[in-house]
Structure 1
Amino acid sequence: MKGLTTLIAALALSHRPTLTLADTDTDALYAKAIKLMSESPLIDTHVDLPQIIRGLDRNPLSVLPNLATSLPGHVDIPKMRTGHLGGAFFTVWAPCADFVGADYGPNFLGMTEGLRDSLEVLDIIKRMIEQHPEHLQYAHASKDIKSAFHAGKIASLIGMEGTHFLGNSLSTVRLFAEMGVKYLTLTHTCHTSFAASNGGGGPMEASNHGPGLTEFGKELVRELNRLGVMVDLSHTSDQTMRDAIQLSKAPVVWTHAGARALQDHPRNVPDDILSLIGDGEGKNPGIILSVFYPVFIGPTPETANVSRVADHIEHIASIVGRNHVGIASDFDGMYAGVIGLEDASKYPNLIVELLSRGWNDTELYGVMGENLMRVMEQVDVVKEQLKAEIPSTAIWEKRPDLPANWGGPEQAYLPYEVRDLVNKRPKHDEL
């Protein structure tokens, strides 16, 4: 059976005793996993396929027809079909300044092409779905995921990874929400005007604007609640996580993270923060979706495997409950997946591993996607509750470009009364 040899090799590398051919009928477990995946969608909340498409050709849209046959990397339609993927969040992302040798400056005012690039990536996602309607179907809410799944399509959703390319503006956030973005990661590997990041794993200088959410970032979280966009805490500093959990009226999410207790990496979630999530009194009813990135899984990148991913899921579930965990590969955003989950064809291997550990059908439906869909529905309930609120008027306080000075030479393009007001306005050179 496809993937079986790889699966057994991966399980043999695990740090703990687990499934072997001598222990049970692995073929039967694999068949059971496929059956479960045919009954309820497995949803991956972090797939970086769009950035691969953008990097393969000077004209990225010319790559889209190849998605139906084969693409280099971890994800294409045949791989997703082989892996019985029910839905995926395709990510909008552009690099932080340090990726491209730039500098945002101490107040994040450095001009970059990030906003342009993120719009182009969003266009790739939309055209990708549009050009492969026999396989992909756009989804935004849980009901859309179910509709696509029952139609035999891969539900295709849009996530946005980072706030560094938003131009220090809540206006861009509102427009991205209107264009279909369903989650926003509050930082990537760099600090922003909204929040502090945990970086990429190495030493990182502290943000000039505090260790967690800025006041502007708090406005962002409130606005995301109002818009029905999920607040994603992957990549954020521990204090940003705490601040957002305390502030958000809706469930928060980690769209691709692991457990720091199992692998001490800043991208993973520590137990004290996990303890803030769950069904108990005063807890945020969010979800942590477990990543396949070897560096975050451990114990070393060379030995990270499918069993170890299941360890992370089980550790997180031991604190937050099994109805607050899910799956997030980070495919096409890393050099390799863990052993046994090398690409999008291998999702069943993880379900086999959880079956071998005694997870029942209801729990597996949950970890595959039903937990996530419940969270999405709760986020939409909060949006409905906040529908009477007006958009936030907040502006990043360090911006020097507002009020706008667009009156032309000697303000000649302005009505006289406006010109008088502009000429009397104090200058803010200190910014």
Structure 2
Amino acid sequence: MALTKKQLIIIGSILTIVIIGLIVGITVGIAVGRQKSTPLTVEQQAYQILEKNPLIDGHNDLAWLIRANFQNNINNLDLYNMTQYPVKNDTPSHTDIPRLRQGQVGGQFWSIYTNCKHLGKDATISFLEQIDIMNRIIAKYSDVFQMATTAEEVRQAFSAKRIASLFGVEGGQAIESSFSILRLFYQLGVRYMTLTHNCNTPWADQNQVDRVNSTLIKNNGLTEFGKKIVIEMNRLGMLVDLSHASKQTMIDVLNITQSPVIFSHSSAFSLCNHTRNVQDDVLELVKKNQGIVMITFAPIFITCNLTNVGTVVDVAAHINHIRNIVGIDSIGLGGDYDGISETPNDLEDVSKYPKLIAYLLSQENWTHDDIIKLIGGNILRVMEKNEQIAKELQKTMKPQEGLIDRKELEVHNLTQCRNLDMYPTK
């Protein structure tokens, strides 16, 4: 049946309305699509990366700050607001729970440390007290912190929205030259040991022996007993930390270790020629070892200038220099918060990590994948490799036994507080 003219006009009008609607819809859709694809700011990108990937810092001295200022009394200490308490030099703590959350910290190696005055006296006791204080903090705030001893446990804690808490003994004086104590620390959850602090052990030299005109007694790097310590750490799966060590100690370790090493809080010697930093030829060995250098924020290791604390730009320069030598797979972050009295501008406390990430993202040579490796991917890889090698070594290698040579203790004046009953009678 033929349509009338009126019917044709009505149909044409309906089609026109439909077409106009489709055009408008497409236009709006395009507009909406464009709006959704608006590039995120680097700050927003940093937030998204940290939300999905754990930032694992290599070194925080909160436990030492609590020992030094509160004698390890935490029953009435509020970790939700550490800025309310007076601490030494009127410098407030860099760390508390709100700022850790603001900084999107996903994992933290808590430094287990007491100073070198305990060496040869009550070093082991004092380090055990520091493990106890961290255990108590984790238990007191169990909804915030979760103990982790493996890479997988770090990931589990992060998935549970808790801060993975790992222990690193800072200073080989803790074990008093004993394989037994080394193993016991591992059983207590310690997953790295810094071979020295700012004092020599009888079996390893610290960085200050490299200072011009140093008069310190030297071991000339790592002794034969020190090499056995490193071998036992490899067998256990405990990370060997070379921050604070002398250059020769670093080289000796890198020549014998079967597992990747770490520098938990060091920076680039070429940008700041402090003996605590890592020289380029050592960085080349770290690259070969597939270890990791976790860049610290301590101004004295960043600017080498006591009157210039530096900025996030200066810290990034150290990160970039070390990356250029060791590669993107061997860098990390080790802020050293609460172990330093001053911090760079824009990195004042643990809440400021996103500022550093945002700054790096603003640079052309930093991708999202690069950032993921820097903030935690690399240290997880190093942990997993140590775990894997330890399992293989334990199939054929027995635990290290024996005592350090008594003469080595005598050279360092460390026999007065020892019974020495296990040494043969002279």
Which category describes the TM-score, using the shorter chain as reference length? 0.7 to 0.9
CA 58–313 in structure 1, closer or farther in 2 if over 3 Å, else same: closer
Q: Is the 8 A contact 1:186 1:194 kept in 2?
A: no
Q: Is the 8 A contact 1:68 1:132 kept in 2?
A: no
Q: Is the 8 A contact 1:43 1:369 kept in 2?
A: yes
Q: Kindly state the Cα deviation for residue 167 of structure 1 after the two structures are TM-superposed.
A: 1.8
Please show how residues 292-371 of structure 1 align to structure 2 within 5 Å: 292-298=297-303, 300-301=305-306, 302-358=308-364, 359-371=366-378
CA 200–344 in structure 1, closer or farther in 2 if over 3 Å, else same: farther
CA 209–260 in structure 1, closer or farther in 2 if over 3 Å, else same: closer
Q: Is the 8 A contact 1:88 1:156 kept in 2?
A: yes
Name the counterpart of 1:90: 110
Structure 1 SS opposite 2:245 = coil
1:404 paired to 2:417: no
Q: Is the 8 A contact 1:216 1:394 kept in 2?
A: no
Q: Is the 8 A contact 1:164 1:192 kept in 2?
A: yes
Question: What RMSD over aligned residues (CA atoms) do the two structures have, in Å?
Answer: 2.1
Q: Is the 8 A contact 1:196 1:207 kept in 2?
A: no
For residues 298 and 287 of structure 1, the distance between their equivalents in structure 2, rounded to whole angstroms, comes to: 22
Amino acid at match of 2:79: L
Deviations 1:2-41 (A, max 9, x none): xxxxxxxxxxxxxxxxxxxxxxx99811111111100101
Deviations 1:291-328 (A, max 9, x none): 00000000534141111111101100101101110001
1:151 paired to 2:160: yes
For residues 209 and 100 of structure 2, the distance between their equivalents in structure 1, rounded to whole angstroms, comes to: 28
Q: Kindly state the Cα deviation for residue 61 of structure 1 after the two structures are TM-superposed.
A: 3.1
For residues 285 and 69 of structure 1, the distance between their equivalents in structure 2, rounded to whole angstroms, comes to: 39
Structure 2 SS opposite 1:137 = strand
Which of 261, 269, 273 aligns to 2:270? It is 261
Bigger helix fraction: 2
Name the counterpart of 2:56: 43
1:161 paired to 2:170: yes
Name the counterpart of 1:20: none
Q: Kindly state the Cα deviation for residue 59 of structure 1 after the two structures are TM-superposed.
A: 5.0
Name the counterpart of 2:389: 382
Name the counterpart of 1:392: 400
CA 169–213 in structure 1, closer or farther in 2 if over 3 Å, else same: same
Which of 231, 237, 261 aligns to 1:252? It is 261
Q: Is the 8 A contact 2:109 2:166 kept in 1?
A: yes
CA 194–62 in structure 1, closer or farther in 2 if over 3 Å, else same: farther
Identical amino acids, percent of aligned pairs: 37
Amino acid at match of 1:385: E
Name the counterpart of 2:68: 55
Name the counterpart of 1:73: 93
Which of 119, 122, 127 aligns to 1:118? It is 127
Name the counterpart of 2:231: 222
Amino acid at match of 2:302: I
Deviations 1:127-167 (A, max 9, x none): 11111011111111111111111111111110010011322
Amino acid at match of 1:69: N
Q: Is the 8 A contact 2:210 2:246 kept in 1?
A: no
Please show how residues 161-310 of structure 1 align to structure 2 within 5 Å: 161-199=170-208, 205=214, 208=217, 210-278=219-287, 283-298=288-303, 300-301=305-306, 302-310=308-316
Q: Is the 8 A contact 2:209 2:216 kept in 1?
A: no
For residues 50 and 203 of structure 1, the distance between their equivalents in structure 2, rounded to whole angstroms, comes to: 33
Amino acid at match of 1:295: I
Amino acid at match of 1:377: E
Q: Kindly state the Cα deviation for residue 207 of structure 1 after the two structures are TM-superposed.
A: 5.3
Amino acid at match of 1:287: I
CA 37–267 in structure 1, closer or farther in 2 if over 3 Å, else same: same
Structure 2 SS opposite 1:165 = helix
TM-score (norm 1): 0.81
Q: Which runs of 5+ in 1 are unaligned?
A: 1-24, 105-110, 406-424
Deviations 1:203-234 (A, max 9, x none): 67455452200111101000000010000000
CA 26–335 in structure 1, closer or farther in 2 if over 3 Å, else same: farther
Q: Which aligned runs of 4 or more in structure 1 are off by greater than 3 angstroms?
A: 200-209, 399-405
TM-score (norm 2): 0.82
CA 334–31 in structure 1, closer or farther in 2 if over 3 Å, else same: same
Amino acid at match of 2:260: P
Q: Kindly state the Cα deviation for residue 277 of structure 1 after the two structures are TM-superposed.
A: 2.0
For residues 299 and 32 of structure 1, the distance between their equivalents in structure 2, rounded to whole angstroms, comes to: 32
Structure 1 SS opposite 2:313 = helix
Which of 43, 46, 67 aligns to 1:33? It is 46
Q: Is the 8 A contact 2:209 2:246 kept in 1?
A: no
